[in-house]
Amino acid sequence: MLSSSNLPLRLAGLAAGISIILLRQELDSRLPVVLLTLLVFLGPYLIIGFVPKHMGPLQVGFASGYALSMLVALTIYFVLRSFGFTTPAPVAAYKVELLLNFALLAIAVNTWIRLRNEIDQRAAFSMLALGFGYPFFAFCFVLVLGHLLLDRA
């Protein structure tokens, strides 16, 4: 029952994940760093899209937290860009990512409200916190591990 009612959430997670590929110009040109970055930032969207149906609280909570966190990060990017900070990726790619994360957040919250009596709320809230904090820790992980990989090369 959870899987059919979560179909829009699954599709929104996959769509938001695919848009990460539009930001490929931001990635380092060295293959290990590219693969690590894609794995770390694309992986959560794939988890949201393909999580088993018995893990509904993980899907709903993590999707809400991750989308909210990515919205905060993208908002910071747009503020920095207004002050002259530029990046190799086109602004349109970031706009698409922003819109898809807004959609993911809206669908996740809507799904959470619809399934509030069917999922464990404590687990969903803990996954919300994990999803919100994940991008920061992932960024630090990629930064440190990418630096270690590059120092060896």
Q: For the chain, 153 residues long, give each residue's pLDDT as a single digit of tens.
A: 444 568 899 999 999 988 787 776 666 666 777 777 788 888 899 999 998 888 888 899 999 999 999 999 889 888 888 888 777 767 788 888 899 999 999 999 999 999 888 889 999 999 999 999 998 888 888 878 877 766 665
pLDDT for position 90 = 75
Long-range contacts of 105-111 (CB under 8 A, 24+ apart): 105/63, 105/64, 105/67, 105/68, 105/71, 107/8, 107/9, 107/12, 107/63, 108/9, 108/12, 108/60, 108/63, 108/64, 108/67, 109/64, 110/8, 111/5, 111/6, 111/8, 111/9, 111/60, 111/63
pLDDT for position 122 = 92
Contact status, residue 14 vs residue 132, Cβ threshold 8 Å: no
Task: Dihedral sign for Cα 100, 103, 105, 107, please.
Answer: negative
CA nearest to 108, candidates 41, 75, 59, 43: 59
pLDDT for position 5 = 64
CA 63 to chain centre: 8
How much is the pTM?
0.84
